[in-house]
Amino acid sequence: MANQTSSIKSPIIKRWQTWYTFVAFLYMYLPIAVLTIFSFNESPSPSQWTGFTWSWYAKFLQNPTLLAALWNSLSVAFTAVSVSAVLGTLTAVGLAKYYFPAKKIYRGATYLPLIIPDIAIAVATLVFFAAIKLPLSLGTIVIAHIVFCLAYVSVVVSSRLANIDPKLEEAALDLGATPIQAFMRVMLPQLLPGIVSGCLLAFVLSMDDFVIAYFTAGVGATTLPIAIFSSLRSGGVTPELNALSVLLIIASASIAAIAEAVRSWGNRN
């Protein structure tokens, strides 16, 4: 009994969970450390270290295939997220505000993209596009990405909405604001942290999506994950990919940091 009480209060450094978690952190970062180290390795072989070099970064920046794919991915993600920001926010607001028949079904439908496996969404979308004879292109990837991006934005904004006092909007209406003014000036600023973090999440997921893009991409509409996958599959793995992954990790870490900052700033307000 005394033991139990003392073990709850024993110093953090002496607890086995602390060391276990430390090892778990090492495990999570091991692959990333490996990619980073070998991105600076002179030898293209990942089995030995021959010396430090920046040349793989220079080579990546001069690789037209990878750069074009990066540009395609950024355009797809940017377009899909912009549309989803509006649609997802409207959905979250509408679901919080109105009661209507079949509301449960509507809400369930917004969760479907998060539940149905990517591979099933991918083949269904492919079959559908073929049936309506829509030629595959970058645009078809955007259409497919909006489906899951709007679901993520809607879920994140909904959870933010749950913490907002609905009386604020009512007060604005009472004080003579039109419904649009009340939404734009009172609700939107409150929702903004939720919208921003939902969009950042959707952006990262869209940039990272391989399976859906692989099925819905037309000839020449190669996104970054598709380009990475084909170079991994053909065995033509070069340390340029290491350099690219380090750059992507830095970019993602910055986006994640921004998202967290926005979230905690939102919670404080």
20 near other proteins (CB under 8 A): yes
Helix (DSSP H) and strand (DSSP E) numbers for the chain: 13, 0
Task: Pick one of 58, 120, 168, 184: the residue that binds other proteins (CB under 8 A).
Answer: 120
Q: Which two tokens stand for residue 232?
A: 């991994």
67 near other proteins (CB under 8 A): no
Calculate helix-pair angle for 239-268, 188-208, nearest 10 degrees: 160
Question: Between 42 and 174, whose beta carbon lies closer to other proteins?
Answer: 174
69 near other proteins (CB under 8 A): no
Question: Between 61 and 116, whose beta carbon lies closer to other proteins?
Answer: 116
Query: If you write DSSP's letter for every residue of 185-234 in order, what string do you get?
Result: IIIHHHHHHHHHHHHHHHHHHHHH--HHHHHH--TT---HHHHHHHHHHT
| Residue 52 φ then ψ, to 5° | -85, 140
* Least Å from the CB of residue 244 to other proteins: 8
Interaction with other proteins in 85-104: which residues (CB under 8 A)? 86-88, 90-91, 93-95, 97-98, 100
Task: Pick one of 63, 72, 79, 125: the residue that binds other proteins (CB under 8 A).
Answer: 125
Radius of gyration of the chain (CA): 23
34 near other proteins (CB under 8 A): yes
**Residue 133, phi-psi category: left (phi > 0), alpha (psi -120 to 50), beta (remainder):** left
* Least Å from the CB of residue 82 to other proteins: 13
**Distance of alpha carbon 72 from alpha carbon 213, whole angstroms:** 11
Question: Residue count at the site for other proteins (CB under 8 A)?
Answer: 93
Task: Pick one of 43, 55, 163, 264: the residue that binds other proteins (CB under 8 A).
Answer: 264
Question: Between 193 and 225, whose beta carbon lies closer to other proteins?
Answer: 225
**Distance of alpha carbon 49 from alpha carbon 51, whole angstroms:** 6
Interaction with other proteins in 175-234: which residues (CB under 8 A)? 179, 204, 207-208, 210-211, 214-215, 224-225, 228-229, 232
**Distance of alpha carbon 166 from alpha carbon 95, whole angstroms:** 13
Strand-pair partners of 41: 52
Task: Pick one of 110, 158, 206, 222: the residue that binds other proteins (CB under 8 A).
Answer: 110
* Least Å from the CB of residue 23 to other proteins: 9
155 near other proteins (CB under 8 A): no
* Least Å from the CB of residue 17 to other proteins: 4
